[in-house]
Amino acid sequence: MSVAVAETVAEIKARNKELVQEVLKVYPEKTAKRRAKHLGLFEDGKPDCGVKSNIKSVPGVMTIRGCAYAGSKGVVWGPIKDMIHISHGPVGCGQYSWASRRNYYIGTTGVDTFGTMQFTSDFQEKDIVFGGDKKLAKIIDEIEVLFPLNKGISVQSECPIGLIGDDIEAVSKAKTKEYAGKTIVPVRCEGFRGVSQSLGHHIANDAIRDWVFDKMDGKPARFESTPYDVAIIGDYNIGGDAWSSRILLEEMGLRVVAQWSGDGTIAELEATPRAKLNVLHCYRSMNYISRHMEEKYGTPWVEYNFFGPSKIAESLRKIASHFDETIKENAEKVIAKYQALCDAVIAKYRPRLEGKTVMLYVGGLRPRHVIGAYEDLGMEIVGTGYEFGHNDDYQRTTHYVKDGTLIYDDVTGYEFEKFVEKVQPDLVGSGIKEKYVFQKMGVPFRQMHSWDYSGPYHGYDGFAIFARDMDMAINSPVWKMTKAPWAA
């Protein structure tokens, strides 16, 4: 159990308010004013979480956020496995994001798939001075020679591209023409654009709209449509998440025609406008393209949540409600089929996790989506926040969090450390940059971006792994040894 002193909701609220005031004291006045807007607590009945979001990070505070390039190359485009994604600019961005996101895929890497490779234009000073367009053209030529089975190329802009006035669109168009209509996508995801990864997602979505979909207009489909065609949108297949989700959709009789973008292909992107329903997991990173498909092709979209049995059952029913009775019945069958597994998992792990408290700080959908899975195990979320959420994320969060929950948007290293120190949760779920900070403090931790190299966590198969991992983190004997027996 948490040793935090606050017990009643009123006490928790008072403590959290005090805590926010306390951390703000460290800042110069101007910064304190800015940060105050991002820190707060959820009050029952309010339409959002009472914090501002999607605003520029304050310089020098140690934000945990990344950049637009990370949102485009790292999140949206990178997992499309049969395309080559050029990190266009200096070597670093591509190097640090090389294969680190665990977007699983099946294919022969380097021959027909390229997911865990690092293609870079490795800009040198002369490229900055004279421009990189000629180099980019040559890179595309060299790719065509050495990787003839690639199905397309994307150009992921790093900071200098937009600053030196390169015309990557012109190069892409010219090369598309030269290579018989090949899909070559320029993406203006320079890292200085926007305030976080988030704009990169949006730019990447728009690039799919403009450079993939628009080319498809009037072209014949590769397969016959069925009434049950759906596309999985916003699942990056981290540790196989999209696979343990897809299997459930298929079991209920739906046909998954595309995965966006984990283990995805350009063919799947192209086929998506023919789906009858888009099922959207990560709203934050792919709501843009879902809305576009709704407007242009009339494809409805539905948000779902495949973390933990309660939310999975709810989501399966919600997805089924868009289809006929057969699918609805199938959804019930799928839920029934996995009931025994869920019961066994909960019977095994809930007694070990009951009442444990958790603080989260993640990106995308996870600061809210994983809450149900923790609650299925009897755990309680006492604080949560988004790296790059918008207000619509905080609105959606109100359906998940309890009265008085501490909320921190774009949290700084200092704030997060202080919050955890005072709230003393039994588990922190955040990223690699935070992991060791909290473990040093003796607080159990799980990385909730990469699943700490485990996973999948989606679907019923994933829930068993999730439960096992949370138990492993919290109940590891190592946490009993952080104090030397002779230390005071």
Q: Residue 70 catalytic? A: yes
From the list 12-20, 370-378, 392-400, 453-461, the region that binds another protein by CB under 8 A is 453-461
- When asked if residue 482 is in the footprint of another protein (CB under 8 A), the reply is yes
Distance CA 344, CA 458 (A): 17
- When asked if residue 174 is in the footprint of another protein (CB under 8 A), the reply is no
Q: Residue 101 catalytic? A: yes
Q: Do 399 and 53 meet the contact criterion of CB atoms below 8 Å apart?
A: no
Q: Closest approach of Cβ 384 to another protein, in Å?
A: 20
Q: Do 332 and 357 meet the contact criterion of CB atoms below 8 Å apart?
A: no
Residue nearer to another protein on the CB measure, 28 or 355: 28
Q: Closest approach of Cβ 401 to another protein, in Å?
A: 26
Which of the following is catalytic: 85, 101, 446, 458?
A: 101
| CA torsion angle 299 302 306 309 (round to 10) | -130
- Paired with 277 in beta bridges are 230
- When asked if residue 336 is in the footprint of another protein (CB under 8 A), the reply is no
Distance CA 56, CA 235 (A): 27
The H-or-E segment that residue 82 falls in is none
- When asked if residue 61 is in the footprint of another protein (CB under 8 A), the reply is yes
- Paired with 229 in beta bridges are 255
Q: Are strands 406-408 and 39-41 parallel, antiparallel or unpaired?
A: antiparallel
Q: Closest approach of Cβ 73 to another protein, in Å?
A: 11
Distance CA 384, CA 193 (A): 26
Q: What is the DSSP letter of 206?
A: H
- When asked if residue 58 is in the footprint of another protein (CB under 8 A), the reply is yes
Helices 29-36, 9-24: crossing angle, 10 deg rounding: 150
Q: Cα–chain-centroid distance for residue 224?
A: 32
Residue 438 structure tokens: 């909290």
Strands ordered across the beta sheet of 255-261: 255-261, 229-235, 277-280, 301-303
Q: Which residue of 24, 36, 164, 216 would you call a contact of another protein, by CB under 8 A?
A: 164
Q: Closest approach of Cβ 207 to another protein, in Å?
A: 18
- When asked if residue 375 is in the footprint of another protein (CB under 8 A), the reply is no
Q: Which residue of 37, 177, 317, 337 would you call a contact of another protein, by CB under 8 A?
A: 337
Which of the following is catalytic: 49, 68, 70, 331?
A: 70
- When asked if residue 2 is in the footprint of another protein (CB under 8 A), the reply is no
Distance CA 420, CA 3 (A): 12
**Helices first, then strands: H and E counts in the chain:** 21, 14
Q: Which residue of 121, 156, 285, 299 would you call a contact of another protein, by CB under 8 A?
A: 121
Q: Closest approach of Cβ 115 to another protein, in Å?
A: 11
Q: Which residue of 33, 43, 92, 329 would you call a contact of another protein, by CB under 8 A?
A: 92
Q: Which residue of 11, 317, 442, 476 would you call a contact of another protein, by CB under 8 A?
A: 442
| CA torsion angle 449 451 456 458 (round to 10) | -50
Q: Closest approach of Cβ 340 to another protein, in Å?
A: 9
Q: Interface mask (CB under 8 A) for another protein, residues 224-253, using x and -?
A: ---------------xx--xx-xx--x---
Residue nearer to another protein on the CB measure, 196 or 398: 196
The H-or-E segment that residue 270 falls in is helix 266-271
- When asked if residue 439 is in the footprint of another protein (CB under 8 A), the reply is yes
Residue nearer to another protein on the CB measure, 1 or 340: 340
**Which residues carry out catalysis?**
67, 70, 101, 201
